[in-house]
Amino acid sequence: MKIAKRKYKPLKEGKYDIRRDDVFKIVFGSNERSEYLKAFLESILHKKITNIVIRNDSYASGIYYNSLKTGKKYIEATKTIVIWILGYNYFEDGNYHEIIKQRREYNNEVFSPNITTHIFQLPRFIDTVDEIRTEEEQWLAYLSGNLNKEEKEELFKMNRSIEEINKILDIVITDDDVWDAINDRILAQQLENLKMQRSHENGVKKVAKEMLKDGFDIEKIAKLTGLEESEIIDLKD
């Protein structure tokens, strides 16, 4: 399947498609639909997966650390693979699919062979691939969000799992209950960010107030804390 050359179009603010983390998580993040996630992972990792269990409460570092038994070294932890699918090019050069391992600066020796990061850069994929042949390319072409209607129809004929995922996506982004769930999660995250921001601001103001008591001049405090001089003046009692 050939695709015409084009410039990658990033996801627009406020738009919902498979490139959004929350939408991706809803579409793929169900044990009832694990067969599609399994097909996707097998295609991009080029490994056969015998079983898959979806957990929504874990991060890569937690999985790696929690696999250790008491007294074991970090190097003995369970093999962990981290996958980044990016809507921008993380590196200025190289391939769209980069594999990263932790290495020592001293002699370039691999520090931990049990943790590997796969980085997929969608803009570079669109820039460099003009014919879809492999299953990896099929999935990345779909996830890029940069195919036209005719190209997607042809892609669905090549890969029925992608066609089924697209049907699920259509339901997710058109169902009001799902939209509400997504928006509730976004609102909760925004409130958490605001809470953290205010906590940080309060901490900075507390430090500035102590500096005032210690005799620091206002200009110096502003430079060190990033607060406006007027904010610092208001802290004077």
Is the per-residue pLDDT at 58 higher than 80? no
Share of the chain above pLDDT 90, in %: 41
178 vs 3: which has the higher pLDDT: 3
Instruction: Find the mean pLDDT for residues 68-96.
Output: 81
Residues belonging to the chain: 237
pLDDT of 78 reads 73
Cβ neighbors of 205 (< 8 A, separation 6 or more) are: 227, 231, 235
Is the per-residue pLDDT at 61 higher than 60? no
The sign of the dihedral angle between the CA atoms of 139, 143, 145, 146 is: negative
Whose tokens are 């699918």? That residue is 85
DSSP-derived secondary structure letter, 228:
-
3-state class (DSSP) for residue 99 = strand
Is the per-residue pLDDT at 80 higher than 90? no
Token duo for residue 65 = 């650390």
Rounded Cα distance between 34 and 52, Å, is 7
Question: pTM higher than 0.75, yes or no?
Answer: no
Is the per-residue pLDDT at 189 higher than 80? no
116 vs 220: which has the higher pLDDT: 116
- Choose among 84, 81, 98: nearest CA to 47: 81
3-state class (DSSP) for residue 119 = strand
Q: Are 90 and 119 in contact (CB under 8 A)?
A: yes
Q: Are 120 and 86 in contact (CB under 8 A)?
A: yes
Is the per-residue pLDDT at 129 higher than 70? yes
3-state class (DSSP) for residue 91 = coil
Cβ neighbors of 179 (< 8 A, separation 6 or more) are: 16, 173
Rounded Cα distance between 17 and 224, Å, is 42
Q: Are 120 and 139 in contact (CB under 8 A)?
A: no
> Among 27-36, 92-101, 139-148, which stretch is predicted with the lowest mean pLDDT?
27-36
Instruction: Kindly indicate the confidence band of residue 135, based on its pLDDT and cuts at 50, 70 and 90.
Output: very high
145 vs 198: which has the higher pLDDT: 145
pLDDT of 99 reads 94
Rounded Cα distance between 95 and 99, Å, is 10
Q: What are phi and psi of 217, to 5 degrees?
A: -80, 155
Report the chain's mean pLDDT, rounded to a whole number. 85
| pLDDT tens by residue, 138-171 | 999 999 999 999 999 999 999 999 999 999 999 8
Instruction: Kindly indicate the confidence band of residue 66, based on its pLDDT and cuts at 50, 70 and 90.
Output: low
> Among 88-92, 180-184, 207-211, which stretch is predicted with the lowest mean pLDDT?
180-184
